[in-house]
Structure 1
Amino acid sequence: MKFETAHSQTLRDLLTWRRDTRHFRPDAVSQDALQELQSAMELAPSVGNARPWRVLSVTSPEKRSQVRSEFQRCNAVAETQYDDKAKAEYRKLKLAGLDIAPVQLAVFTDTAPNEGRGLGRHSMPETLEQSTAMAIFSLWLMARSHNLGVGMVSILDPKKIEAIFDAPDTWRFSAYLCIGHPSFLDDTPLLHKVDWQKNTDTVWAEV
């Protein structure tokens, strides 16, 4: 398929409006939309075609509560690294959508999948986790095309999350995603809005 200028612009729009969403409405996400997100992950590239991502849809109130408690514990520890001024700014940040997001996914990477027969990962085993990251980003862009927001909760202890979900020994926690309808639409990153961190230039040099 040959793509036209309009395709490039649409992709750029998706990249521009792909924001880490923390503010959600409680409205349910349709099963059709969820199927589209799953299909987007299916299209992602992976090392040796190993397809190492493992996705758990977290619907259990008990599991969600355990994840929320772990976030709160880690968040309390994280704020101690800042001085008083930065700590006050940190506390104002909304860092998770765990209370409202209707869809929550725990994503893991299988570090020893049979699929792919080891191709491309003997010298760089981290390519398995890179593959999972690409699958997550594919889901993220598809979500945005359906006017859904995605937020990644990174203030979590991976080992604790693996224990909460009784993950197999070869699974490594990769991401916890909150998905739903954003409570507002804006292409300005939240950390820009609150003046926490502006974008820095990408290092792109000839050698």
Structure 2
Amino acid sequence: MTGGTSSPEFDAAFRERLEDLLRWRRDVREFRTDALPEGMLERLVDLASLAPSVGYSQPWRFVSVVHPARRSAVRSSFEEANRKALSGYEGERKKLYATLKLAGLDKAPVQLAVFTDHGSERGHGLGRQTMPEMLDYSTVTAIHTFWLAARAEGIGVGWLSILDPEEIRDELEVPVDWSLTAYLCVGYPAQEDDRPKLEQLGWEEEAPESRRLLKR
């Protein structure tokens, strides 16, 4: 319901399904090549735009990357950044890093660059005087909302951050006030699991402190 005073009721069954959605929202790296249904990407962006934002600024800007030359440039940026990242590890950690599949650029039917518009006047600076980074955090909430909405449709999302953000901004010819927050690969997963892939591969275990509630 919109524009009214009554709010929906979320029963126990809904809450259980919501927990399932959160647990199965995984970072996907291997995709099928099937195209998304017509209009699905636009629907997901619409739902993402229901996310909260500081000062109601809504600074997120979604850019669908479809041109082959631009996709090729993104891949080149990833490959160079990945080589540099590999050189920063040693020993067994370096060997393990080399085995990780860190990008879904080959098969994901949708590549989506998500920017934060730092030049927009929307929100008139409300909530950003002491924490200007809230603009970027607002975009992250939209990305997470997009991710959950996609997962509810059986669609996977992979967040690729091993890139040069300025190269991507320039290649996509967006305004200089836009900063890259995420580069997403979107499509149907080749396989699914409710455990994080990096945990499955032994890169990192769940951090117990992430679930700890501190009191001061």
TM exceeding 0.5: yes
Confirm or deny that 1:76 pairs with 2:83.
Answer: yes
Tell me the amino acid that sits aligned with residue 20 of structure 1.
Answer: D
* Deviation string, structure 1 residues 54-84 (Cα, Å, up to 9, x no partner): 1110000011000000000000000111113
Q: Measure the CA separation in 2 of the matches of 1:88 and 1:120.
A: 45
Q: Measure the CA separation in 2 of the matches of 1:162 and 1:133.
A: 17
Q: Contact (CA 8 Å) 2:48, 2:149: kept in 1 or not? A: no
Tell me the amino acid that sits aligned with residue 186 of structure 1.
Answer: D
What is the correspondence of 1:1-207 to structure 2 with a 5 Å cutoff? 1-201=8-208, 202=210, 203-207=212-216
Moved more, 183-192 or 173-182: 183-192
Q: Contact (CA 8 Å) 1:51, 1:132: kept in 2 or not? A: yes
1:117, CA displacement in angstroms?
Answer: 1.3
Residues 112, 123 of structure 1: CA spacing in aligned structure 2 closer, same or farther, 3 A cutoff?
farther
Tell me the amino acid that sits aligned with residue 31 of structure 2.
Answer: F
Q: Measure the CA separation in 2 of the matches of 1:31 and 1:47.
A: 32
Tell me the amino acid that sits aligned with residue 158 of structure 2.
Answer: G
1:118, CA displacement in angstroms?
Answer: 1.3
Tell me the amino acid that sits aligned with residue 84 of structure 1.
Answer: G
Q: Contact (CA 8 Å) 2:159, 2:185: kept in 1 or not? A: yes
Tell me the amino acid that sits aligned with residue 27 of structure 1.
Answer: D
Q: Measure the CA separation in 1 of the matches of 2:213 and 2:118.
A: 31
- In the alignment, structure 2 segments of 5+ residues that lack a partner are 1-7
TM-score, normalised relative to structure 1: 0.97
Equivalent pairs counted in the alignment come to 207
Tell me the amino acid that sits aligned with residue 32 of structure 1.
Answer: G
* Deviation string, structure 1 residues 144-186 (Cα, Å, up to 9, x no partner): 0000000000101111111111221211110000000000111
Tell me the amino acid that sits aligned with residue 17 of structure 1.
Answer: W
Q: Contact (CA 8 Å) 1:36, 1:142: kept in 2 or not? A: no
1:85, CA displacement in angstroms?
Answer: 1.9
TM-score, normalised relative to structure 2: 0.93
Aligned-residue sequence identity (percent) comes to 46
Over 6 Å off, 4+ runs: none
Q: CA RMSD, aligned part only?
A: 1.0
Q: Measure the CA separation in 2 of the matches of 1:42 and 1:87.
A: 39
Moved more, 115-124 or 14-23: 115-124
Q: Measure the CA separation in 2 of the matches of 1:153 and 1:105.
A: 10
Moved more, 9-18 or 29-38: 29-38
